[in-house]
């Protein structure tokens, strides 16, 4: 019997080693897709459910930093966005922040490097020691649009170029003059390399120009197994089409198959621009929001991606996918069911961007045992509304 016993022990050890190896690979696979660019994931401690068994996420959507910096109201509205995020973070004390796109209004930034405004957006989470991740919206790398009043009498925009380098006409000097906007890759690389608390990623190169494509695992409170998967996708816009591509669909399928083959781990999805499925479930624009939808403002039509390349079918067929969260429409904050999952808007957080509806942030609270996802909206003035159970 003894050798049997030992064999079983060896078998158990091998199984444990294999499981550990799989977990390591999963961790590597999900976070080092841009290892050539030195994603410092090795330095990042794993995300984990808290001692109370829950994980709370605050969504900051459509901050639109950097508008009209040459006026009074531009800087004033950026100060307003700082205040909203501070109020929400102090009231909710989230474990994690998701910057849900349009952190900056690049088409309005008269500086060659939008990272400076981007950094102001993420400084809200950084200043309170809260880790975060970001996805791109359509305004983050839009090309600069000259305000007409800046045009000189002969119709030529007055170029402001950086001082010439000592070596003469370097290519970077020319780039500084063009105001073509800061590319997604540069924005993200700067964020990641300057911030220990950033869990953002440039995503696999074969999905570029879509950049913010990555998965984060949140480990169980008391085991080193993932208890939640958060998928971030780049829904385009700005320098390219507003779409989730079929390449991203294939990427999602291979990631989810690899990390969660039996669908045991619940999954949440984050991107910026609503898919066309949102149009199907939307309450009629400007009508009252009725059950089963939950929300407080319904002031405009859904402005969806330009096409659907299959992502919604794939997500709707996975019972482990509980909800999708988007921003983009500042006048909508509802959640509506779609097949077996929920489609949710965030809440316009920034004073930048169109619309004057009161600012706030959607909060998501995930509980590990027994699993549930609930959400609500926290306003700048501290009020809380639109509680909804997204899964239980």
Ligand X SMILES: *[C@@H]1O[C@H](CO)[C@@H](O)[C@H](O)[C@H]1NC(C)=O
Q: Minimum CB separation from ligand X for residue 24, in Å?
A: 31
Q: Minimum CB separation from ligand X for residue 282, in Å?
A: 21
- Determine, following the binding rule CB under 6 A, whether residue 108 of this chain makes contact with ligand X: no
Q: Which stretch binds ligand X (CB under 6 A): 35-43, 113-121, 163-171, 253-261?
A: 113-121
Smallest CA-to-CA distance from 106 within 71, 74, 140 is with: 140
Q: Minimum CB separation from ligand X for residue 16, in Å?
A: 43
Q: Which stretch binds ligand X (CB under 6 A): 138-146, 206-214, 266-274, 379-387?
A: 379-387
Q: Closest CB to ligand X among 164 and 358? A: 358
Asked if the bond preceding 292 is cis, omega within 30° of 0, the reply is yes
Give 6's contacts (C-beta < 8 A, 6+ positions apart): none
Binding residues with ligand X: total (CB under 6 A)? 9
Q: Closest CB to ligand X among 115 and 202? A: 115
CA distance 295 to 273: 18
- Determine, following the binding rule CB under 6 A, whether residue 379 of this chain makes contact with ligand X: yes
Binding pattern to ligand X, positions 56-95, x when CB under 6 A?
----------------------------------------
Q: Which stretch binds ligand X (CB under 6 A): 97-105, 111-119, 138-146, 305-313?
A: 111-119
Q: Minimum CB separation from ligand X for residue 190, in Å?
A: 5
Give 325's contacts (C-beta < 8 A, 6+ positions apart): 59, 98, 100, 268, 269, 270, 271, 344, 345, 346, 362, 364
Q: Minimum CB separation from ligand X for residue 132, in Å?
A: 17
| Range 3-32, binding ligand X (CB under 6 A) | none
Binding pattern to ligand X, positions 152-191, x when CB under 6 A?
----------------------------------x---x-
CB atoms within 10 A of CB 349: 30
The answer to whether 335 touches 391, Cβ cutoff 8 Å, is: no
Q: Minimum CB separation from ligand X for residue 310, in Å?
A: 35
- Determine, following the binding rule CB under 6 A, whether residue 113 of this chain makes contact with ligand X: yes
**Binds ligand X (CB under 6 A): choice among 24, 35, 71, 383:** 383
Q: Closest CB to ligand X among 46 and 358? A: 358
Q: Closest CB to ligand X among 123 and 369? A: 123
Q: In what order do the strands lie in the sheet with 372-379?
A: 132-134, 96-99, 54-60, 360-367, 372-379, 384-391
| Range 303-362, binding ligand X (CB under 6 A) | 358
CA distance 385 to 367: 20
Question: Can you give the length of the chain in residues?
Answer: 392
Q: How many H helices and E strands in the chain?
A: 8, 13
The answer to whether 331 touches 300, Cβ cutoff 8 Å, is: yes
Pairing of β 214-219 and β 47-48: parallel
- Determine, following the binding rule CB under 6 A, whether residue 115 of this chain makes contact with ligand X: yes
The answer to whether 294 touches 374, Cβ cutoff 8 Å, is: no
Q: Closest CB to ligand X among 172 and 276? A: 172
Tokens linked to 366: 């995930």
| Residues within the interface to ligand X (CB under 6 A) | 113, 115-116, 186, 190, 358, 379, 381, 383
């Amino acid at each position: 019997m003894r050798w049997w016993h030992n064999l079983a022990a060896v078998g158990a050890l091998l199984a444990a080693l294999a499981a550990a190896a799989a977990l390591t690979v999963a961790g590597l696979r999900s976070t080092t897709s841009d290892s050539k660019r030195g994603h410092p994931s090795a330095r990042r401690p794993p995300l984990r459910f808290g001692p109370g068994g829950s994980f709370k996420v605050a969504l900051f959507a459509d901050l639109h930093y950097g508008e009209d910096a040459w006026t009074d109201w531009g800087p004033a509205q950026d100060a307003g966005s700082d205040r909203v995020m501070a109020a929400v973070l102090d009231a909710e004390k989230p474990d994690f922040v998701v910057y849900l796109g349009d952190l900056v209004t690049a088409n309005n930034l008269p500086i060659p490097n939008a990272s400076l405004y981007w950094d102001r957006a993420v400084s809200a989470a950084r200043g309170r020691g809260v880790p975060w991740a970001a996805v791109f919206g359509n305004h983050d790398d839009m090309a600069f649009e000259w305000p007409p009043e800046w045009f000189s009498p002969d119709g030529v925009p007055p170029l402001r170029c950086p001082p010439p380098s000592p070596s003469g006409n370097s290519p970077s000097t020319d780039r500084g003059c063009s105001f073509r906007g800061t590319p997604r890759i540069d924005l993200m690389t700067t964020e990641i390399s300057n911030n220990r608390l950033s869990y953002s990623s440039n995503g696999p190169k074969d999905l570029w120009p879509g950049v913010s494509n990555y998965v984060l695992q949140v480990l169980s409170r008391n085991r080193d197994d993932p208890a939640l998967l958060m998928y971030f996708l780049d829904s385009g816009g700005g320098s390219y089409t507003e779409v989730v591509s079929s390449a991203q669909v294939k990427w999602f399928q291979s990631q989810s198959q690899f990390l969660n083959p039996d669908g045991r781990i619940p999954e949440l999805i984050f991107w910026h621009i609503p898919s066309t499925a949102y149009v199907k479930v939307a309450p009629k624009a400007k009508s009252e929001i009725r059950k089963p939808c939950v929300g407080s403002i319904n002031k405009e039509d859904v402005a969806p991606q330009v096409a659907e390349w299959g992502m919604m079918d794939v997500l709707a067929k996975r019972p482990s996918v509980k909800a999708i969260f988007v921003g983009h429409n500042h006048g909508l904050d509802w959640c509506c069911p779609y097949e077996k999952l929920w489609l949710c808007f965030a809440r316009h957080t920034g004073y930048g961007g169109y619309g004057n509806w009161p600012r706030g942030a959607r909060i998501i609270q995930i509980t590990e045992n027994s699993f549930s996802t609930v959400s609500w909206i926290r306003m700048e003035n501290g009020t809380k509304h639109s509680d909804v159970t997204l899964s239980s």
